[in-house]
């Protein structure tokens, strides 16, 4: 494509609203523009990068035996009622009524639609297995859309669904998808890890997420230094410690005027945060629930959500805590608390701890579980840390941030039973099909790749995802030899199937160089004064700035070689 005739609105300034590198650079490089919160237009180069991801995904899905189809984005509520998810999915599901008052929703995922298709079309064990996928726009009314393409409300996903006759066959389908995913993310040139994961609102029996390692990731992963255990911290179990055996001391109310935060209370009472227990209050589908964790710990909300069987849990703000408990924030404790109380298993092993006194300006000392307060349940509710041992082998864990780019689920028969998707087995008996589902965040991958590959000058695309493989600069628009050579190279490279952005604009060399760096195109060919002086052009590698001087007639061969190597190595 010719730069002079393309819509590539690069920006010099950093857009104020962008908090992370990929968001900033996608805007600055003119890849995306925001229409409204979490909804973006993909401009030509942005779309070109997305197409690169799609092509890799499509090739590997087809290779793994999956078949592409395309399902509707608008889905009737009736289907979602069959699985109970119309009510359970929560406000991320965008619901609306049409002119005939029929309730519908925009597809955030397609288990219901595909299961409906399969129950109509699959009759016998002979029709199985099947694996069907699509690459399509999804809509999720995310509460906090942010970071550009990372967490949109509208985004592009590849979703695949497998259907098998029995559990063993379904596990094999899962394994094949797992391997295909490793291949996809490797080919994309990403540094990633598969981790054990929570199944979330999709449900099912087990699942793995594929995480791109990056500091800006919204997910926390734990990775064992010794065995191959790796898990999302939402899923990673923390073992209960042995109960302390010190004698129970007499409970005591102490005045702590104005002392509300953990460090302040600890300093005032001369104790460590490990001797204090925090009482945190969450809203679980409209019910206020208190959670006890040690003073230096955090509640893992997904563990809490799973324990309570809630669709959604969210920490209450100060006022809501007061409304629910009658106690001002900072002084809440379990003794005499009026709302449902659940206890982290670490707290259940503690003796003689400090808690809020359930009265302004008071705390309690020597509080003990069972003797001093009732509770609904004890469970593993806290966020794992790198001081916790690996749940598998006990070795040291490291904690890392990651961006979830893919998620594979073994679903089992939950959807097929609810929607009566059955097939006849060899004996003529009806059985529910055994399902799996497999998602990839296609548009998110572009953002994740940029998080992992950028420098102070812009994006540094890995070759397989680069929207253009080569940027060709004409630095002598008024010089016939330079212009003719540049034009000829453009045609030659295009003729060989290379994706070339030809910068034929009437701009200063400096701004052409800046844009080339910003766009992150892996190879830059400059045709300028060196041609008229020494008969050479410059080939520069974006990744390390290394420059090769070569004769124009050798450029295409060299570039084809570099592209081929970059594609195989990734």
- Residue 406 touching ligand ATP (CB under 6 A): yes
Q: Which is nearer to ligand ATP, 23 or 363 (CB)?
A: 23
Indicate the residue among 207 and 469 with the shorter CB distance to ligand ATP.
Answer: 207
Alpha-carbon separation of residue 49 from 135, 260, 493, 499 (angstroms) = 15, 50, 19, 11
What spatial distance separates the first Cα and last Cα of the chain, rounded to whole Å? 25
Residue span binding ligand ATP (CB under 6 A) among the ranges 24-32, 62-70, 180-188, 438-446: 438-446
**Per-position x/- string for 107-136, each x denoting binding to ligand ATP as judged by CB under 6 A, each - no binding:** --x---------------------------
How many residues line the site for ligand ATP (CB under 6 A)?
A: 17
Which of Mg ion, ligand ATP, none has residue 444 at its interface (CB below 5 to 8 Å by kind)?
A: ligand ATP
Q: Which two three-digit tokens encode residue 25?
A: 């650079």
Residue 152 binding partner per list ligand ATP, Mg ion, none, with a CB distance cut-off of 5 to 8 Å that depends on partner kind: ligand ATP
Q: Which of 155, 163, 331, 415 binds ligand ATP (CB under 6 A)?
A: 155
Residue nearest to Mg ion (CB): 407
Q: Residue 524, interface with ligand ATP (CB under 6 A)? A: no
Does position 151 bind ligand ATP by CB under 6 A? yes
Interface residues toward Mg ion, by CB under 5 A: 407
The piece of 318-326, 421-429, 439-447, 501-509 that touches ligand ATP (CB under 6 A) is: 439-447
Distance in Å, CB of 311 to ligand ATP, minimum: 13
Tell the residue number behind the tokens 């460090």, with chain if given: 263
Least distance between ligand ATP and beta carbon 441 (Å): 2
How do strand 340-344 and strand 377-379 relate by DSSP bridges? parallel
Whichever of 407 and 524 has its CB closer to Mg ion, that residue is 407
State how far the Cα of 505 lies from the Cα of 6, in Å rounded to an integer. Answer: 10
Bridge-partner residues for 403, per DSSP? 212
Stretch that binds ligand ATP, among 274-282, 373-381, 437-445, 548-556 (CB under 6 A): 437-445
Burial 70-85 (b: 16+ CB within 10 A, else e): ebeeebbbebbebbeb
Which residues are CB-contacts of 247 (< 8 A; sequence separation ≥ 6)?
none
Measured between alpha carbons, how far is 407 from 25 in angstroms, rounded to an integer?
26
What are the structure tokens assigned to 335, written together? 């003794």
Closest to ligand ATP by CB, 157 or 566: 157
Write the DSSP string, 374-439: --SEEE--BPP-TTSBPTTT--BEEEEEEEEEEEEEEEETHHHHHTT-EEE-TTS-EEEPEEEEEE
- Ranked by CB distance to ligand ATP, the top (closest) residue is 441
Q: Is 443 left (phi over 0), alpha (psi -120 to 50) or beta?
A: alpha
Q: Whole-number minimum distance, CB 402 to ligand ATP, in Å? A: 10
Q: By the criterion CB under 6 A, which residues form the site for ligand ATP?
A: 109, 140, 142, 151-152, 155, 157, 200, 202, 404-407, 439, 441, 443-444
């Amino acid at each position: 494509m010719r730069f002079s005739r393309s819509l590539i609105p690069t920006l010099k300034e950093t857009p104020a609203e962008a908090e992370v590198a990929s968001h900033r650079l996608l805007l600055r490089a003119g890849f995306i523009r925001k229409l409204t919160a979490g909804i973006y237009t993909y401009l030509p180069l942005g779309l070109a990068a997305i197409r690169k991801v799609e092509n890799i995904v499509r090739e590997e899905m087809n290779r793994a035996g999956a078949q592409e189809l395309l399902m509707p984005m608008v889905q009737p509520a009736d289907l979602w009622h069959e699985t109970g998810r119309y009510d359970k999915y929560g406000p991320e599901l965008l619901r609306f009524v049409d002119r005939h008052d029929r309730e519908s929703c925009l597809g955030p995922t397609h288990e219901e639609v595909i299961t409906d298709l399969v129950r109509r079309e699959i009759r016998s064990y002979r029709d199985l297995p099947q694996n069907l996928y699509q690459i399509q726009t999804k809509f999720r009314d995310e509460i906090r859309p942010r970071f550009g393409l990372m967490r949109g409300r509208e985004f592009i996903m590849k979703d695949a669904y497998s259907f098998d006759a029995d559990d063993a066959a379904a596990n094999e389908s899962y394994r094949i998808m797992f391997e295909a995913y490793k291949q996809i993310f490797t080919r994309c040139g990403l540094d990633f890890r598969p981790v054990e994961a929570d199944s979330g609102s999709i449900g099912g029996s087990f699942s793995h997420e594929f995480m791109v390692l990056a500091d800006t990731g919204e997910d926390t992963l734990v990775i064992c230094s010794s065995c191959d255990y790796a898990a999302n911290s939402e899923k990673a179990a923390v073992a209960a410690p042995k109960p302390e055996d010190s004698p129970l001391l007499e409970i005591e109310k102490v005045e702590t005027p104005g002392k509300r935060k953990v460090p302040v209370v600890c300093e005032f009472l001369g104790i460590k945060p490990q001797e204090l227990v925090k009482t945190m209050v969450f809203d679980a589908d409209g019910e206020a629930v208190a959670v006890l964790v040690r003073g230096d710990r955090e509640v893992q909300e997904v563990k809490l959500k799973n324990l309570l069987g809630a669709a959604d849990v969210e920490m209450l703000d100060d006022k809501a805590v007061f409304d629910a408990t009658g106690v001002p924030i900072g002084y809440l404790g379990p003794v005499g608390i009026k709302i449902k109380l659940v206890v982290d298993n670490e707290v259940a092993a503690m003796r003689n701890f400090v808690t809020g006194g359930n009265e302004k300006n008071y705390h309690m000392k020597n509080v003990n579980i069972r003797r001093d307060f009732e509770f609904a349940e004890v469970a593993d509710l806290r966020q794992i840390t790198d001081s916790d041992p690996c749940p598998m082998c006990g070795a040291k864990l490291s904690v890392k941030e990651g961006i979830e780019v893919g998620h594979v689920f073994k679903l089992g028969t939950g959807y097929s039973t609810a929607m009566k998707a059955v097939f006849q087995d060899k004996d003529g008996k009806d059985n529910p099909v055994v399902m799996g589902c497999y998602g990839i965040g296609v548009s998110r991958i572009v953002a994740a790749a940029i998080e992992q590959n950028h420098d102070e000058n812009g994006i540094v695309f890995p070759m397989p995802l680069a929207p253009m493989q080569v940027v060709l600069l004409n630095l002598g628009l008024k010089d016939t030899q330079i212009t003719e050579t540049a034009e000829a190279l453009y045609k030659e490279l295009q003729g060989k199937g290379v994706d070339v952005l030809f910068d034929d604009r009437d701009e200063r060399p400096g701004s052409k160089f800046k844009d080339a760096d910003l766009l992150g195109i892996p190879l830059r060919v400059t045709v300028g004064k060196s041609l008229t002086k020494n008969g050479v052009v410059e080939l520069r590698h974006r990744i390390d700035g290394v420059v090769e001087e070569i004769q124009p007639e050798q450029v295409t061969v060299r570039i084809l070689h570099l592209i081929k190597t970059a594609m195989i190595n990734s």
